Structure 1
């Protein structure tokens, strides 16, 4: 309560845990280091968003730990709010790109309901839109001076999360149709790499990111006074854990054999 009797708007409804934040930082440093090493070693540059997302998560959780002793300081709150919120969008970008590369690498463009050279473009464009919407919503949240301002930010973030879920749903439909058709009519190129294994990893990452987004939708729908936003432990259960598992699952994608074999594979824009 402020001096004039008006309820004071607070950034944190709790004091962020130093221990939880440090553990999260160490975990993301470790897994991001593995991704970086695999990225450079195999030159699978389309996975760069994974590394950037891992850095976002690392910095975001470090900011949470730093806020423990000063919950009124705005910078740590802003950093963790924005980076932890948008990092999964970067993970999603690489998930989208892997499907386009698998389609081209297996010479199975005829099995896709979207032109192979447009698969990455369509979904990454949607991903960029979600990124700007959620970033904008996070910006409104951190600048909020009262409950109404926070509610406006929540609504924008909700819109971005729901859009991302819809895009992901369509993506899974496209991937599953391609998967079923290629399984029924395999191409000669498909026998050259374990495309089914990579597709299973793709589904796993998609499910993990979607579950996280659904939980985030529930979180913001409940509002700042709701249980999920007023307690810290749920964040580690439905955001930290799924994103760590996503990064672990996707380490397998740094396979140089996924890269295109021909200069005509313009979607990837890379030569051997």
Structure 2
């Protein structure tokens, strides 16, 4: 990791639990923190509602809900840090929560692609690998990344806390940062692989030769929209993950880490836009479960039989 130097304010007389420097590298903006709290509260309200009423998509919305609660906690910590910028615990809490939360959003994104296959019979031909491989492989990698990032974030917190107080720790901040960097690197590579699978599926769905089992044009349009929503949300998550990767690679007091403008544009904005997208266009609006489609088909068949029966009785009466 490149060497970096702290250029921020100095705390000449650190109090209990305080550092002599601001580990953020700047005093966190109260405006950005409040905006984050308000926006994430809205997302939490939406995802709570969807988790309750959307039975077929509860796992998806529960992942988004838990991640959103973590984001809310992170921005609440940043708001508190605005008034107590030297306090070590506020940095540790917001860093851990905001860094780890998007891992849950990634898992939900992987899951959303399986909803496409379940909702649109015949769409499994769009994937270059089976849906079991998509869900199994990428979720497994996501779990591994979660463990690595949780470990790295926790070690960063403890090592930075020890360093700020002049104490030694088993792992240095640089070593802890490298652990987090490894987790972010694996997650970024995995997500790029997923986006490749997703892009191929989207390309095939737009091919004129592709048809769904039902042959419905309306269903095909819904399928394309569903895929585009996943692509849009996934690209936003990738943008944020790439920023975090660059920030971690530079080090705590590098340009990426000490610019709150970059933080707001490349961390806060992409993730909240991705979650707002899923709040306005949840999977339930983009696809129907097969069970409902079968019920519609059965209803249509029953009506046809009734009409046929009336027609036959009419013919018999006429004779």
Q: TM-score higher than 0.5 here?
A: yes
Distance 2:201 2:253 in 1: 44
Matched, 1:204 2:216: no
Cα drift, residue 68 of structure 1: 2.2
Matched, 1:46 2:75: no
Cα drift, residue 10 of structure 1: 5.0
Structure 2 residue corresponding to 1:31, chosen from 43, 64, 71: 43
Cα drift, residue 59 of structure 1: 0.6
CA, structure 1 residues 61+185, in 2 after alignment: closer, same or farther (shift >3 Å)?
same
Q: How many residues align?
A: 259
Cα drift, residue 179 of structure 1: 2.9
- Give structure 2 stretches of 5+ with no counterpart: 1-9, 14-18, 165-170, 292-319
Q: 1:168-247 maps to which residues of 2 (within 5 A)?
A: 168-183=191-206, 184-189=209-214, 191=216, 192=219, 194-247=222-275
Cα drift, residue 139 of structure 1: 0.9
CA, structure 1 residues 239+190, in 2 after alignment: closer, same or farther (shift >3 Å)?
farther
Q: Over aligned residues, Cα RMSD in angstroms?
A: 2.4
Matched, 1:119 2:134: yes
Native 8 Å contact 1:141 1:150 kept in 2 = yes
Secondary structure of the 1:129 match is helix
Native 8 Å contact 1:105 1:190 kept in 2 = no
Matched, 1:163 2:163: no
Q: Which stretch has the larger CA shift, 252-261 or 173-182?
A: 252-261
Cα drift, residue 257 of structure 1: 6.8
Distance 2:99 2:215 in 1: 36
- Give structure 1 stretches of 5+ with no counterpart: 263-272
Distance 2:197 2:69 in 1: 30
Native 8 Å contact 1:165 1:213 kept in 2 = yes
- TM-score normalised per structure 2: 0.74
Distance 1:221 1:121 in 2: 29
Distance 1:188 1:56 in 2: 41
Larger radius of gyration: 2
Distance 1:99 1:10 in 2: 42
Native 8 Å contact 2:30 2:78 kept in 1 = yes
Secondary structure of the 1:249 match is helix
Secondary structure of the 2:196 match is helix
Cα drift, residue 243 of structure 1: 0.7
Secondary structure of the 2:129 match is coil
CA, structure 1 residues 182+68, in 2 after alignment: closer, same or farther (shift >3 Å)?
closer
Distance 2:113 2:196 in 1: 12
Distance 1:25 1:65 in 2: 9
Matched, 1:13 2:25: yes
Matched, 1:103 2:125: no
Cα drift, residue 8 of structure 1: 5.2
- TM-score normalised per structure 1: 0.86
Partner of 1:270: none
Distance 1:128 1:175 in 2: 20
Matched, 1:152 2:175: yes
Distance 2:176 2:215 in 1: 46
Distance 1:104 1:254 in 2: 11
Cα drift, residue 161 of structure 1: 1.3
Distance 2:202 2:36 in 1: 35
Native 8 Å contact 2:64 2:105 kept in 1 = yes
Q: Which stretch has the larger CA shift, 220-229 or 235-244?
A: 220-229
